[in-house]
Structure 1
């Protein structure tokens, strides 16, 4: 009998009755090699009931976390050692959320998981990413995953506040948060593999100090090197794609469309959408990351300028004033706003 991989996407061209059984990771010894014939509609058939449990209804104005159910092997034995991978999607776009994902499975099943054919989500077509995501969902016996969806509003707020909270720091803290939440669920994580954010060496040292006793590997291109990281990248990318496809604008009574492309500044569709949907006073809706240089450039060139008055100076007298002879005429302090409005004192109160 011809050997067929029970996990790879090569089976997506098989007949429906064969493909559906193999697609979910079930190898049937009764399947004959001559039953495997091309069928272009298999993937569409498999995806008919496709759902994204990590999506939320309504406008995305706050960040949130989703955790899939624990694998059945872990509910039966929480001491079962596991391997965990971490990756993100949407770090560079000027719009939409940044999504961090973790995927973990039992070490006893990791050889099987490695044969599923997972790859870096950026190298896959959208249909293939969704097909792989369906496989991950179907293997609830040994695989689980979580995502942290960071809203563009939170990204902007953190990066523009006085005590700037940059994207690398947000990424590190999100990674740490997700790992802690999985450990708090009682999962016995033995190994962690992470796609790098910044220099891998210092990041690995940082995480190893926090999570002692766990073997942690931070590497460049980890989503191409380690199947468990590839699986995490697929969960992150599919979640982000569908958040954008189903985006609900928080701003009411605005004629806005979802034709904003990928969100990357190099995408002509994104650039056109930004130009067509800017407001001369309010700028952009909350889907946009206002801290991005692309956004700042458009706002500076194509919107009304805003002058922010400086804070008023303190009215307290310096301590040296108590040691001077006589009283001196004190100049009253004015805010810039009052000065611009030509308002002045007319009498003492």
Structure 2
């Protein structure tokens, strides 16, 4: 698993894939989908697919794959290397969703929540497999949101495929377990080796699991808050955990029109970047300020 492409610019999402085995192009295949890192406030969310010929499901079961959450880190690493080494009948693809992409997606004006982002990512991975010649006939998915609605959505998008969406699919179907392992190993490696693109000086890398209720994660968030610029892109700004700390400890950000209207007496972040004005002079209307228009005094 070569993560260099993502590490060069971890502010963007990244797609990684194994070579497609010839057998997966020639025979009907089953494909499993799962994710790792949906809940953490730190780091990326990784979506993974794993696929193999239907005729070799038993071979996949014999590898003793299991839900990644039930395995130790060393077990996950060992199983991923086994999956990655079975190039004759197993393939995988990963979509690493940058925390920056997650936050900006969720905070854009047109609401785009995490469920919608997850669904679209899963759809994109299925399409990627099909576009690369994988002869997919069966798809098994760990649900995000109501399973029946998600299943119907996927069936409408891929009418030629047999789609099964179930809660806890990673513990029910080996091909989903395999996808879970691939996604979890990728996320763990990315989080451990995270390269901070911001000029932060020395950064404490002991940030725990990244989950909001982890004491180490809470301590790291408190320690690395910049009162003006907030957090590095390693943090998901859209999470309530980060928002609560920003609201209580960071400098308040007020839009210029709110300040002009006298809605708050607090200093605006804009005031740090603008020259002081003579308060005795009457203020121009917003229309003129936004267009940088000034009264003409000389002809």
The TM-score, its normalising length taken from structure 1, stands at: 0.74
Aligned residue for 2:114? 167
Aligned residue in 1 for 2:267: none
Q: Deviations over 1:133-162 (max 9, x none)?
A: 011011110000000000001111111111
Answer yes or no: is the 8 Å Cα contact 2:3–2:190 preserved in 1. Answer: no
Aligned partner (choices 20, 27, 42) of residue 70 of structure 1: 20
Find 2:225's aligned residue among 248, 271, 278: 278
Following superposition, the deviation at residue 202 of structure 1 comes to 0.5
> Structure 1 residues 348, 83: closer, same or farther in 2, change over 3 A?
farther
- How many Å apart are 1:53 and its aligned residue? 2.7
Q: Who is 1:238 aligned against? A: 185
After TM superposition, give the deviation of residue 61 of structure 1 in Å.
1.1
Counterpart of 1:291 in structure 2 is 238
Deviation at 1:108, TM superposition (A): 1.6
* 1:67-116 deviation per Cα after TM superposition (whole angstroms, max 9, x unaligned): 11011423xxx231100000000000001001000000011211111121
Deviation of 1:255 (Å): 2.1
Does structure 1 residue 199 correspond to structure 2 residue 140? no
Report matched runs for 1:150-189 at 5 Å: 150-189=97-136
In structure 1, the partner of 2:263 is: none
Equivalent position of 1:301 in the other structure: 248
Q: Give every structure 1 segment of 4 or more consecutive aligned residues whose post-TM-superposition deviation is greater than 4 Å.
A: 344-349
**1:132 has 2:79 as partner:** yes
Higher relative contact order (CA 8 A, sep 6+): 2
Residue from 56, 71, 81 that aligns with 2:28: 81
How far residue 250 of structure 1 moved from its aligned partner, in angstroms, is 0.6
In 1, Cα distance between equivalents of 2:173 and 2:36: 17
String of CA shifts for 1:243-289, please: whole Å, max 9, x gaps: 01110001025221221111100111100000011001111101000
Aligned length: 271
Q: Which residue of 1 aligns with 2:286?
A: 335
- With over 3 angstroms needed to count, the CA separation of the structure-2 counterparts of 1:346 and 1:306, relative to structure 1, is farther
Give yes or no for contact 1:55–1:239 (8 Å, CA) kept in 2: no
The one of 239, 252, 255 aligned to 2:202: 255
Which residue matches 1:317? Answer: none
Whole-angstrom distance in 1 between the partners of 2:182 and 2:3: 9
Structure whose CA Rg is larger: 1
Residue number in structure 2 paired with 1:41:
none
Report the TM-score, using the length of structure 2 for normalisation: 0.86
- 2:89 is aligned to 142
CA distance in 2, matches of 1:337, 1:267: 50
Q: Unaligned 5+ residue runs, structure 2?
A: 259-282
2: distance between equivalents of 1:200 and 1:174? 16
- Secondary structure of the corresponding residue to residue 33 of structure 2: strand
Task: Indicate how the Cα distance of structure 1 residues 166 and 310 shifts in structure 2: closer, same or farther if over 3 A, else same.
Answer: farther
- Taking the aligned partners of 2:172 and 2:76, their CA distance within structure 1 comes to 17
